[in-house]
Structure 1
């Protein structure tokens, strides 16, 4: 019951965060120094153009600021995000988001998975063998991966894979999956209206994984080094705690001591790191999406920014705010699963 109460409170606290973030977005875009209508017209003297006035009317910029704000907040609340003016001119923003967002989420999912299932175990392994050759090699590898820029690693990996007959040493043709191209959209259309196709159509799923795997490796490596470093530090701190020493003195076996007492408690400081980097991976995929030809939210946001499609930028910022708040709420859920004492510490 306390856990439900704690999570309900955290969810309610997220509502004003979304409101404030959306309000600041509206102010920066529509009340800032840039005139959205002038940016869309792109003329030296936009005031002399009838098109300029039409755009101001269509965007509601001829209304009082308070009315503009209320209209904007109402539209985003019901996800009526309007239409684009420059990027994919005349297209519905909701439709574009539904088209581009799954690709970014697919890329972000595998990027986080690589970072977590490679970085965290390596960090824990180094922490349990601190000040040994294995610890030094693991730490050095993590620092090296973290130091390599994403765009450089993407270019190198792309050149290697293009000249290779296999992908990560695996013969995808044996499963009937062609490997002529390693760039482009991952092809998630087969799951449209049927999420279970992820399981029921394994060949299409493997093809989508193959297409996104190189980009996910590049993007995931950016945070893998952090997981190694922080995981190692967390394990070294926990294994020296008094309750671990007490359990060891009581004769608890080494394996049970590590899995039950050390690893679970060492995960606590890693939760905010993993969830925060999950958002950064999803939102910071612009360069990787460009290099590997994945038309996701990062590509859409970059195109809107370059072409001055300010209304689209406002809509995408609202989506990013929702994603960030959702990731933070997921962090709270994971906290209560790993350490139930967090919910118990909430005052009545």
Structure 2
């Protein structure tokens, strides 16, 4: 098993290196070809053309694009992604500060999505070829047609305005100071024993995570339902029935495990869309994550920051792919026996 997992990780790493290089090159070239001047915000209104040229030379933007990319690549290999034009801080430091919030939001959103979709997929399968199947399909289709940003607005309207039971802005309450140990608020507050502050962080996280979950869960429900329908026709199900096992036990102990394989693969592929949805969700809820930082970078034409965030998103997606492949290998008995 260890050899199988090692092989999967090595293969993915071999693919990841050229993928990162190609993506970095594409993003770098596209950003440099845009008709914007990223240095305009760094110059005072009274700046002359000579001042602009001097600053451009200082930032290395007077060189040809291939040379600029090679310089950026060399710095990136040494752990430096340059300085943000707007924030006047290292890009790495800004991303390290914002990334934990986005990961926390996406992970909690995924957990909530699984809490909704696993029972939902089982119920959809139980209703298969029954009178209520059409109603269940209609509900799932309706949920799937609502994007995460619209869910955000609806949740704010219902639970923040009409029935204000949970906060809908920021990451924690104003009275809470994050310890800053790992950057993950839920972990840091729990480790330091600040349970009231931990509940505050959880309440602030709930609505944005639920908005992501509600947009992600319907797709998981559909895939899980299809997997259960396919599993119902497998020979082992008939054998289990002949042995006198109840339908409930067959479903939860045997069929669900096999139906989980394509579902896990789909979750891994679609998890990137969860991060993409987090961009707008963070804006709406004022959540200080990587998506919010990306919006500020785009508004300010902050090329180094945009480049760094694009790179970290690619790294996250490649890491998720590795995790999904490993989980698939662990759950698939055919691969475990290789």
Q: TM-score w.r.t. structure 1 length? A: 0.83
Q: What SS is found at the alignment partner of 2:39?
A: helix
Matches within 5 A, 1:29-178: 29-30=31-32, 33-34=33-34, 38-41=37-40, 49-86=49-86, 88=87, 90-133=88-131, 135-163=133-161, 167=165
Distance 1:201 1:274, change over 3 A: farther
Is contact 2:8–2:326 with CA below 8 Å preserved after alignment?
A: no
Q: What SS is found at the alignment partner of 2:261?
A: coil
Which residue pairs with 2:25 in the alignment? Answer: 23
Distance 1:250 1:134, change over 3 A: same
Distance 1:253 1:159, change over 3 A: closer
CA distance in 2, matches of 1:67, 1:189: 44
CA distance in 2, matches of 1:137, 1:34: 49
Distance 1:249 1:24, change over 3 A: same
The answer to whether structure 1 residue 190 and structure 2 residue 192 are counterparts is no
Distance 1:203 1:134, change over 3 A: farther
CA distance in 1, matches of 2:266, 2:177: 32
Is contact 1:103–1:296 with CA below 8 Å preserved after alignment?
A: yes
Instruction: After superposition, give the CA deviation of every residue in 1:65-115 in whole Å (9 maximum; x if it has no partner).
Output: 4432222112223331221113x2x12212211222122122211211111
CA distance in 1, matches of 2:253, 2:159: 41
Shift in Å, 1:116: 1.3
Is contact 2:117–2:221 with CA below 8 Å preserved after alignment?
A: yes
Q: What SS is found at the alignment partner of 1:284?
A: helix
Matches within 5 A, 1:250-269: 250-269=243-262
CA distance in 1, matches of 2:155, 2:84: 35
CA distance in 2, matches of 1:342, 1:25: 37
Is contact 1:231–1:266 with CA below 8 Å preserved after alignment?
A: yes
CA distance in 2, matches of 1:340, 1:63: 55
Count of residue pairs the alignment pairs up = 325
Which of 211, 217, 220 aligns to 1:218? It is: 211
CA distance in 2, matches of 1:58, 1:260: 64
Is contact 1:151–1:288 with CA below 8 Å preserved after alignment?
A: yes
The answer to whether structure 1 residue 304 and structure 2 residue 273 are counterparts is no
Shift in Å, 1:164: 5.0
Q: What SS is found at the alignment partner of 1:240?
A: coil
Shift in Å, 1:127: 1.1
Shift in Å, 1:254: 3.1
CA distance in 2, matches of 1:207, 1:7: 38
Which stretches in structure 1 are left out of the alignment for 5+ residues? 168-178
Is contact 1:10–1:329 with CA below 8 Å preserved after alignment?
A: yes
CA distance in 2, matches of 1:331, 1:309: 33
Shift in Å, 1:134: 5.3
The answer to whether structure 1 residue 272 and structure 2 residue 258 are counterparts is no
Instruction: After superposition, give the CA deviation of every residue in 1:157-181 in whole Å (9 maximum; x if it has no partner).
Output: 21222345663xxxxxxxxxxx5x4
Shift in Å, 1:216: 1.3
CA distance in 2, matches of 1:247, 1:22: 52
Give the CA RMSD over aligned residues. 2.7
